[in-house]
Structure 1
């Protein structure tokens, strides 16, 4: 009798204190449920086809290397790295050029060279899923060895 009573008591406690498992709950759903949603702000466009320099982004990097002032970088005897970030509007015009790297002198020279390279050149604008031209941000790594 005691065994049956303990068995029934065990089953009651198991069902009463069992954890509830939520099905198919994702981290994204948790985050979105906590954030207030402003429906007047549209979501950012999905860029299916990113903006491109006329002969490709590699040609842009090569043109920047040609336009860079090597005499200003003579004191820097090492391999230098930076990122060139370009904002291209829907017409293919360069709106903004930024450079981010460890060496400020190098960043300024690369920015000048990129500005000179893009001054009279129209880029192929980025396109979204519907094929509409949209504003795009192009992020390109840039390496230069002065050795």
Structure 2
């Protein structure tokens, strides 16, 4: 049924959603497509990674990790972790809230889109290094658990 302006509410909300989704994809992709001058991994990223693995499967960070992989997760982490005040922060927070309110499958689709996007050459090596660190951390955790069991 059309509203007072003759617009179909379903199609209007759909176009607003698609516009928001486009903004979300641009926002979440920006840490991957911009040049990195950093030489080290983001502060506490391994702790955040382990925390994400323990979250509910419908949590946005977990969806990005499970459905989009490490690249999508680190983009989400870098976009959402900062607490600094800057111009545009409120609009960014509003977009992130919109992301969290989307259905699981839509968030998974966004995560896959981020994962499939090309990244800046300065980002690629550091992301591979960070992913390797998370794999090594997981392997050490498994070895530690295994060796404790043998001693008991």
Give the TM-score normalised by structure 1.
Answer: 0.30
Kindly indicate which of the two structures has a greater share of residues assigned to helix.
2
Q: Which has the larger radius of gyration?
A: 1
Greater share of strand: 1
